[in-house]
Copies of this chain bind each other. A is one copy, B any other.
Amino acid sequence: MTAEIISVGTEILMGNIVNTNAAFIAERLSALGISCYYQTVVGDNADRLKDQLKRSLKRSDIVILSGGLGPTEDDLTKETAASVCGYKLVEDVKARQDIAEYFKTRGKEPAENNWKQAMVPEGCTVLYNPNGTAPGIIMQKGDQHVVLLPGPPDELVPMFKKQVEKYLSSLSEDVIVSRTIKLCGVGESSAEEAILDLIDNQTNPTIATYAKIREVHIRVTARAKNIKEAKTILQPTVREIKKRFKDNIFATEEEVTLEASVIDLLKKKNFSLSIAESCTGGLLSARLINVPGASEVYKSGFVVYSNKAKRKLLGLKKKAIDKYGAVSAQTAEEMTKGLAMETKSDVCVSITGIAGPGGGSAEKPVGLVYIACNVKGKITVRQYMFKGTRAKIRESSAAEALILIRECVANR
């Protein structure tokens, strides 16, 4: 079974809003085992929408449209789709009641054009909308299915989860099950080379790699008649990939981030963590604290961007900073030592580097970063050379710090 998504709205075409609806629908379709080969965005234009819908119906079993169900003249998705599918619009009694009710509970009067939203293709499935005034619609055209959804995500998302998924799962015979294996400390090319034989032989399950900042994600996807069978198909490939990457694997679940895996590891070891950041300026702490429950391990963070702050908050000596430079292995090491003295945390991490665009030299170019990780007195200092914008160098530094923590803590 194949589906495709058509997002309707000039505001997406103009770049005023990011198309999060398409990403949401795509993810849910994939989880339902429905293949999606196209996403398209068209503006609020009847001719182009009609063309696109006809084209989509030539190549997909299910076409899901979002947007253009509002009350204004611009909103013409329903009218256009009904005409392409050969349906006449009629008023739906319950939809009309819903609209009246919606305005009543908000102490407002509906405008005349709101009643247009109660018109639906005759004989279709109406998806009533408790979060707005536009009902969703499912029309059949022969063996094909056309689904119309309201554009606002807080209407579309619950309607999809509660009503559309039930409808779609009843259509599909196969299920799809995916497993994501997340790696760090290895680049995308090397990761792919290491499993090239598996990739080359893939049919079911399929294998795909995704490059993230200092991470590589490998997704293995199986298709089968039921979940149990799909899992059985997945297993040997997943096991083989795990065997090949061992310590580079930080997560085997889609939801688990690198920072969450670090927090989890620290929790298991019962280690507390403190951080001193110069060039990253709080980025590493911010990532860690985005993990719910981070407070169980995260003790204190210092943003010591200036040398003065490094001296005052971490007790570094002016002479030493002057001798080695603020960006040096020695300073990174002294920072973790000072941090350990100050916080008594089990794990103390420091980052110092040149994020640019200014401040670089031939000897110490922009992108040079030192990260030190101090686990109960055992200090590892590592040098990195990142490229890119100031923001990218800082993000890469924070990511590598997480990777270094993982490595140093796992070995204890």
Q: Which residue numbers of A lie inside 8 Å of B, CB to CB?
A: 10-20, 22-30, 36-43, 45, 48, 52, 70-74, 102, 105-108, 110-114, 130-132, 152, 154, 158, 187-190, 192-193, 199, 208-211, 219, 275, 277, 279-286, 288-290, 292-295, 298-306, 308-309, 312-313, 356-358, 367, 385-392, 394
Can you identify 11 A-B contacts, CB atoms within 8 angstroms? A19-B23, A70-B211, A73-B192, A107-B385, A131-B392, A154-B391, A281-B282, A282-B284, A290-B390, A292-B356, A299-B306
A72's partner among B24, B70, B74, B209 (CB-CB below 8 A) is B209
Q: A289-B305, A302-B301 are contacts. A189–B72 as well, Cβ < 8 Å?
A: yes
B189 touches A111 (CB 8 A): yes
A20 touches B22 (CB 8 A): no
Taking the full assembly, how many copies of this chain does it contain? Answer: 2
Most interface-central of A70, A114, A189 (chain B CB within 10 A): A189
A282's partner among B17, B131, B283 (CB-CB below 8 A) is B283
A105 touches B282 (CB 8 A): no
Q: A282-B285, A300-B313 are contacts. A71–B13 as well, Cβ < 8 Å?
A: no
Besides A70-B188, A282-B282, A292-B390, 11 new A-B residue pairs in contact (Cβ under 8 A), listed by A number: A12-B23, A13-B39, A18-B19, A37-B42, A37-B48, A113-B192, A282-B284, A289-B305, A292-B357, A300-B309, A302-B302
Most interface-central of A22, A25, A285 (chain B CB within 10 A): A285
A303 touches B305 (CB 8 A): no
A71 touches B188 (CB 8 A): yes
B131 touches A389 (CB 8 A): yes
C-alpha spacing A190/B72, complex, angstroms? 10
A286's partner among B25, B52, B114, B283 (CB-CB below 8 A) is B283
B40 touches A40 (CB 8 A): yes
Most interface-central of A107, A277, A367 (chain B CB within 10 A): A277
C-alpha spacing A209/B71, complex, angstroms? 12
**List of B residues within 8 angstroms of A277 by Cβ:** 282
B300 touches A290 (CB 8 A): no
C-alpha spacing A185/B17, complex, angstroms? 20
**List of B residues within 8 angstroms of A313 by Cβ:** 300
C-alpha spacing A411/B208, complex, angstroms? 55
CB distance from A321 to the nearest CB of B (A): 14
